[in-house]
Amino acid sequence: MRVVVAGSSGLIGTALVAALRRDGHEVIRLVRRPAAARDEFSWDPARADLDQRALRDADAVVNLCGASIGRRRWTGSYKQELRDSRITPTDVLAAAVASAGIPTLVNASGAHYYGGDTGDRVITETSPAGTGFLASLCRDWEAATRPAAEAGARTVLLRSAVVMSRQGGMLAMLRPLYSLGLGGRLGNGRQYMPWISLDDEIGGILFALTHPTVSGPVNMVGPAPVTNAEFNRAMGRVLHRPTPLVVPAFAMRAALGEFAQEAILHGPRAIPTVLEEAGYAFRHPTIGAALAAAIGRDEG
């Protein structure tokens, strides 16, 4: 296949490009700087500026664009940046896919589409959208793919969880604290924390690209949901460190504001129904296996 990737420089994009090439696919990368390699094309989504040559003979477009939701406190301006960094590129790419007649669009989204305060209820791809900033962001992000779907493109919406990887993301921030014995439960620890290993995030995207029956929302989450308390214990086992601390919910809210309330103190008990029913086999089916793979240790 010839696959066009936007957002190829991030944690997931870098791993995806390498995996696609390893499997023999041709990759075209969209970059927001002057193109410096034969496989690159410059684009400026804010100006809807996309060189149509980048899409020539493409079999699929993968859009992974989006600023990190946890990079800093959610001010009004940063929330707008989170929206613009996701919805604007999706608008441009969905229109381009529709215009060029590209058969497949695989677009990033998030597991917080369902909202955080869903309690113990099991969440599948047929569950309704939730409330709150993240849920509305994901809902509008997915809606921006509509032109591609209406033009007949198979459109896959990757509702991704926190990705477990040593290369970056949440785990890179938490590991030093846990290694020092400073890990602990966040709030009451009963909130669910959707997760997925980097290998399975990439494996799931490749599976979606190559299996034409996969379409619409896809929960990119590990098959065994865990609460924050269970995640905390698993981190302790893998790193062989105690995890005695408790960070009170009020302290999380004071330090991180709305981000803490929506993304840390609440989370959906999501399961990957679409992937499993389509036949995807998870490489790391438990949080212990995912953490051990990311950290390079036995599960303990």
CA–CA separation, 36 and 33 (whole Å): 8
Q: In the chain, what are the domain boundaries?
A: 2-162+195-221+269-280
CB within 8 A of 135, min separation 6: which ones? Answer: 112, 113, 114, 115, 129
Tell me how far CA of residue 147 lies from CA of 97, 113, 142, in angstroms.
8, 20, 11
What pLDDT, on the 0 to 100 scale, is given for residue 109? 98
**Amino acid at residue number 168:** G
Q: Which amino acid is at 162?
A: V
| Rg, C-alpha atoms of the chain | 19
On whether the CB atoms of residues 158 and 208 are closer than 8 A, the answer is yes
Q: pLDDT truncated to tens, each residue of the chain (300 aa)?
A: 999 999 999 999 999 999 999 999 999 999 999 999 999 999 999 999 999 999 999 999 999 999 999 888 999 999 999 999 999 999 999 999 999 999 999 999 999 999 977 889 999 999 999 999 999 999 999 999 999 999 999 999 999 999 999 887 888 888 888 888 888 999 999 999 999 999 999 999 999 999 999 999 999 999 999 999 999 999 999 999 999 899 999 898 998 899 999 999 999 999 999 999 999 999 999 999 999 999 986 665
- Reference 114, options 101, 102, 125, 103; nearest CA is 125
List the structure tokens of 263. Answer: 């993304």
Closest by Cα among 57, 63, 47 to 7: 63
Residue in this structure with the two tokens 């990311």, named with its chain if needed: 294
- Which CATH fold would you assign to the domain 2-162+195-221+269-280? Rossmann fold (3.40.50)
For 228: left if phi > 0, alpha if psi spans -120 to 50, otherwise beta; the answer is alpha
Its pTM surpasses 0.75: yes
What is the predicted pLDDT for the residue at 298?
Answer: 62
pLDDT (0 to 100) of residue 297 = 66
Distance (Å, whole) CA 113 – CA 216: 14
